Amino acid sequence: MPYETTHLILIFNEKKLDLIKISPVLNAFEIAKRISFQKQKNYTRFIVRLSIAATAISVAAILLTLSIVNGFQQAVSNKVYAFWGQIRIGSVSGAPLEMNKNLEHELYAIKAVESITPFLNQSTVLSYEQDIEGVVAKGMTANAASPFIIKGRAVQSVNDSLSNEVVLSDQLANRLNITLNANIRLYFLNAGDVQQRKLKVVGIYHSGIDDYDKQFILVDIKLLQQLSNNFNRIEGYSVQLKKGANIEQINTQIQHKMPANWVATTIQNYYPQIFDWIGVQTVNRNVTISILLVIAIVNLLTCLFILMLERVPMIGTLTALGASQNFIRQIFLYQASFICWMGIALGTFLGLGLSLLQKHFGWIQMDESAYFIKTLPIAMDGFQIASVILGTAIICYISFLIPTLWIKKIAPAKAIKFD
């Protein structure tokens, strides 16, 4: 005779049948634990372990999906932000502007603003030995930090004087066989005249964004201003914000401080193709997670139905002995709880463990020319992790409640002789 039935019969013989009603949680829990973790091999033990494994795989896959998509979106966005800032200030018509120190002071008063850098772009022809290449010279303030430097250093000047130094991308340097400390020539077309400048290569950068690496070189902004005989001329300002700042909100604050015919625009609006592509990853993430959840729900429903079918004689015996449907339902809900929480715990450990391994060792590599990043990035969010754990638990319990509604349809007389 099964343990559960013997236990209840002993209680009945000792005239303690009311113990079921007084302490149903203890009895239901003990029965669920016994039938779920029996040491001898049986069908129930196999189904329970299979369900735990399936739940764990679903949770781990969801956590990995979130970590990978978060990391990818942040990595690509940060590359664009590092090159241009989160907000770009320019003229409404695209005409050149004049540096405005008063405006800079006003913008620095906004707590979320980290730095404000004037910039000036101009097309030029780069010449080295017998090779030439059409590029865009991006003028930046000398001694300012340059992004993505992998060799050498950024452009520097002494006593705020004009610097004849340049930073190239590794793509340009490799294509033209230019090395550090080599001298190159730039040819500018200015007011119908061609002007030449000789510059020393002091740094090599690599952003991983092909459109930037093959197009931009970094020079002192004064070099470009000198060509127009106007050392206050700029194309605009790049505004870097502090981590976690609301870009749209800060952009609105900055716009309110703009002079006439000046406009502040988020970098997403300058490069919509990149950020639209980044946004598509959110759709892919949601579709993947939805599929995983559907698979997990079907698995859990099937699992509990099978477990209940195997325990039909036990259900009939308990019903015949006076156990309520709620008591029987509690047994299976406790059994489902073991599956749910063991699966969540194992899946969380597996998902976060694999994420941490990739984050620290970077074993998975990507095609940088297609994805802008070389190593698969990982970014874990505590709120998302907690949401996955809590959301999975809620879905599990809702899924487990559906099969237990079938209990009331089991007739004790037929169930006891069920084979």
φ, ψ for residue 37 (rounded to 5)? -125, 40
Q: Confidence class of residue 124 from pLDDT cuts 50, 70 and 90?
A: very high
Greatest mean pLDDT range, 11-20, 57-66, 90-99: 57-66
Asked if 379 and 213 touch (Cβ cutoff 8 Å), the reply is: no
pLDDT at 406: 62
Asked if 223 and 163 touch (Cβ cutoff 8 Å), the reply is: yes
pLDDT at 271: 87
φ, ψ for residue 90 (rounded to 5)? -155, -175
| Among the ranges given (47-51, 153-157, 170-174), the one the predictor scored with the smallest mean pLDDT | 47-51
Asked if 162 and 223 touch (Cβ cutoff 8 Å), the reply is: yes
Asked if 217 and 138 touch (Cβ cutoff 8 Å), the reply is: yes
pLDDT in tens, 253-312: 999 999 988 999 999 998 888 899 898 999 999 999 999 888 888 887 787 777 777 766
Average pLDDT over the chain reads 83
CA–CA gap between residue 76 and residue 391 (Å, rounded): 29
The burial of 299, by beta-carbon neighbours within 10 Å (0-12 exposed, 13-18 middle, 19 or more buried), is given as: buried
Query: Per-residue pLDDT averaged across 198-220, rounded?
Result: 92
Asked if 116 and 302 touch (Cβ cutoff 8 Å), the reply is: no
pTM above 0.85, yes or no: no
CA–CA gap between residue 98 and residue 100 (Å, rounded): 6
φ, ψ for residue 181 (rounded to 5)? 70, 5
pLDDT in tens, 29-40: 677 666 666 555
Q: Which residue has the higher pLDDT, 329 or 2?
A: 329
Asked if 24 and 330 touch (Cβ cutoff 8 Å), the reply is: yes
pLDDT at position 207 over 60: yes
pLDDT in tens, 312-335: 677 677 776 777 777 777 777 777
Name the 3-class secondary structure at 8: helix
**Where do the domains of the chain lie?**
3-77+276-416, 118-239
Which residue has 């237990």 as its token pair?
A: 404
Query: Per-residue pLDDT averaged across 164-180, rounded?
Result: 93
DSSP 380: -
